């Protein structure tokens, strides 16, 4: 490991000149912050636009043969005001004109979207006095459209070896032929993680507009505490909750090297935020939980058949049917003669009847029912392993709040207890569980 810190700044952290100033102060405060990954400028207020959304819009206009000057002007104005207000010695117009003419010439959708980060990278590099290194020269996408970790890692090591400080735009890379491709939305988080792994950083800082992960959704639970430390695995178990703060794929590149991720708030840099650490981290909070996450809109397909446990291949047939219909399931609690599949309604959509018919045809069950309106709550914590009383605390809390539990599931890793409740009871249930562990 080196002493380097890779710092990624999200769209809201770079939405205006005022935000750029905060970023410079943060970067200047620690010389170890050597590689900086910016997103495109985000919203300055509730009514504002994200530059990436406007770029997608420009591309859609070109595709439909509609003039996009007005939309492009919104993009150009943002970069011009940032460079002017920061008094940066940079002719941003030249870069804006090139992007505009590429769009007019029919540039691809990914290329269009990537220009938000590209332009912001040029501006930020100039403002920080760092070198600009194009992500297209570092992050390689293979023929299958996925990024190629091996080629990318050796590329990063080779190209950044002699560059002590650089700004590398997030969100995109290129194929070996030079075609620009992007990650999925919010993909600058992934870029930051890849760069951190490539330079063997001691820390990957992800600067955003919240001070880390909260133990539960603040729209549901009042005065909710921040999670100080969480392991990569716990975070995966809480991915219902984490996804909006950190891109789901961002943990994988750094996880393999045990590089911690620190979620920090650009608007409150003194707050320690949340540290995402290696799975081997010994949790000292034995008997406590790390967080609660949940989601509504699940259905349960419940299947019963006498002597199911002895029928070879019964489960495989059902799984093949789900696979055939492109449906993934969330959880699969089972009994001796019964089995159920908890599936997000968004997955089932209009396939429900067809799946039920196919299961009837292939598996001949005694009964099969689909029960809608279930919410699933994940209560997660490494500290619950080998610690008696966690499940009883959850169940007592729900019973005392007069909430019926429709489903229970605990993985053998003893890190996550899933409970299914009626959709209408969801908020009440999350509050009851949170209070039971925090009061």
Residues found near ligand ASP in the complex (CB under 6 A): 11, 39-40, 50, 52, 116, 170-171, 185-188
**Distance, CA of 325 to CA of 330 (rounded, Å):** 15
117 is in an annotated binding site: yes
145 is in an annotated binding site: no
Q: Which is nearer to ligand ASP, 74 or 391 (CB)?
A: 74
Residue closest to ligand ASP, measured at CB: 188
How do 33-38 and 166-167 pair as beta strands? parallel
CB atoms near residue 140 (< 10 Å): 21
Q: Are 54 and 78 in contact (CB under 8 A)?
A: no
What's the min distance (Å) between Cβ of 50 and ligand ASP?
5
**Distance, CA of 33 to CA of 166 (rounded, Å):** 10
Query: Given the structure tokens 């770029």, which residue do they identify?
Result: 55
185 is in an annotated binding site: no
184 is in an annotated binding site: no
Per 3-state DSSP, the chain is made up of helix, strand and coil in percentages (nearest 5) of 45, 20, 35
Report the phi/psi class of residue 194: left, alpha or beta, with left for phi > 0 and alpha for psi in -120 to 50: alpha
Q: Are 263 and 213 in contact (CB under 8 A)?
A: yes
Q: Which is nearer to ligand ASP, 182 or 379 (CB)?
A: 182
What's the min distance (Å) between Cβ of 206 and ligand ASP?
10
Q: Which of 297, 276, 103 is nearest to 205 (CA)?
A: 276
209 is in an annotated binding site: yes
Q: Which is nearer to ligand ASP, 13 or 409 (CB)?
A: 13
What's the min distance (Å) between Cβ of 189 and ligand ASP?
6
10 is in an annotated binding site: yes
Alpha-carbon distances of 410 from 168, 298, 377, 378, 416, rounded to whole Å: 42, 18, 12, 10, 6
Q: Which of 282, 329, 278, 284 is nearest to 303 (CA)?
A: 329
242 is in an annotated binding site: no
What's the min distance (Å) between Cβ of 279 and ligand ASP?
25
**Distance, CA of 379 to CA of 292 (rounded, Å):** 5
Q: Which is nearer to ligand ASP, 244 or 423 (CB)?
A: 244
423 is in an annotated binding site: no
**Which tokens go with 278?**
């290696």
What's the min distance (Å) between Cβ of 99 and ligand ASP?
15
What's the min distance (Å) between Cβ of 105 and ligand ASP?
22
Q: Which is nearer to ligand ASP, 169 or 294 (CB)?
A: 169
What's the min distance (Å) between Cβ of 327 and ligand ASP?
27
Q: Which is nearer to ligand ASP, 40 or 103 (CB)?
A: 40
Q: Which of 174, 183, 185, 190 is nearest to 135 (CA)?
A: 174
Q: Are 4 and 195 in contact (CB under 8 A)?
A: no
Count helices and strands in the chain by DSSP H and E runs: 15, 16
* 54 CB-contact burial (10 Å; exposed 0-12 / middle 13-18 / buried 19+): buried
208 is in an annotated binding site: yes
Q: Which is nearer to ligand ASP, 192 or 273 (CB)?
A: 192
For residue 371, the cross-strand partners are: 300
What's the min distance (Å) between Cβ of 367 and ligand ASP?
45
**149 contacts: CB under 8 Å, gap ≥ 6:** 194, 253
Q: Which is nearer to ligand ASP, 248 or 345 (CB)?
A: 248
What's the min distance (Å) between Cβ of 55 and ligand ASP?
9
Q: Which is nearer to ligand ASP, 46 or 326 (CB)?
A: 46
Known binding positions for substrate = 52, 117
Known binding positions = 8-11, 52, 117, 208-209, 219
Known binding positions for ATP = 8-11, 208-209, 219
């Amino acid at each position: 490991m080196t002493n380097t810190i890779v710092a990624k700044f999200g769209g809201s952290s770079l939405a205006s000149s005022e935000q750029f100033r905060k970023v410079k102060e943060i970067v200047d405060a620690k010389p170890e912050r050597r590689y900086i990954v910016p997103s495109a400028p985000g919203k300055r207020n509730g009514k504002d636009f994200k530059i990436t959304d406007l770029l997608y819009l420009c591309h859609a206009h070109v595709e439909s043969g509609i003039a996009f000057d007005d939309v492009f002007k919104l993009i150009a104005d943002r970069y011009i005001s940032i460079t002017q207000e920061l008094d940066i010695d940079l002719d941003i117009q030249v870069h804006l004109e090139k992007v505009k003419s590429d769009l007019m010439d029919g540039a691809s959708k990914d290329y269009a979207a990537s220009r938000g980060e590209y332009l912001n990278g040029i501006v930020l590099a100039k403002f920080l006095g760092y070198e600009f290194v194009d992500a297209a020269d570092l992050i390689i996408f293979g023929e299958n459209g996925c990024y190629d970790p091996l080629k990318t890692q050796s590329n990063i090591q080779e190209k950044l070896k002699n560059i002590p400080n650089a700004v590398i735009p997030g969100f995109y890379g290129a194929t070996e032929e030079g075609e620009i491709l992007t990650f999925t939305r919010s993909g600058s988080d992934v870029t930051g993680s890849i760069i951190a792994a490539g330079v063997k950083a001691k820390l990957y800082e992800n600067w955003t507009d919240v001070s880390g992960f909260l133990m539960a959704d603040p729209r549901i639970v009042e005065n909710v505490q921040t999670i100080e430390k969480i392991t990569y695995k716990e975070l995966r178990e809480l991915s219902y909750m984490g996804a909006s703060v950190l891109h789901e794929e961002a943990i994988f590149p750094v996880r393999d090297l045990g590089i911690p991720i620190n979620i920090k708030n650009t608007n409150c840099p003194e707050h320690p935020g949340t540290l995402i650490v290696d799975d081997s981290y010994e949790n000292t909070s034995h008997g406590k939980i790390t967080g609660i996450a949940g989601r509504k809109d699940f259905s349960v397909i419940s299947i019963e058949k006498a002597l199911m446990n002895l029928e070879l291949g019964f489960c495989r047939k059902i799984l093949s049917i789900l696979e055939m219909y492109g449906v993934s399931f969330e959880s699969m609690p089972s009994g001796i003669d019964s089995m159920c599949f908890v599936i997000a309604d968004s997955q089932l959509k209009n396939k429900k009847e067809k799946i039920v018919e196919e299961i009837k045809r292939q598996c001949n069950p005694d009964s099969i029912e689909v029960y809608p309106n279930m919410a699933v709550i994940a209560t997660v914590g490494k500290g619950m392993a080998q610690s008696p009383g966690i499940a009883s605390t959850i169940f007592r809390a729900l019973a005392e709040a007069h909430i019926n539990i429709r489903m229970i599931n605990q993985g053998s890793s003893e890190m996550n207890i899933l409970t299914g409740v009626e959709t209408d009871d969801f908020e009440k249930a999350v509050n009851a569980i949170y209070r039971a562990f925090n009061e």
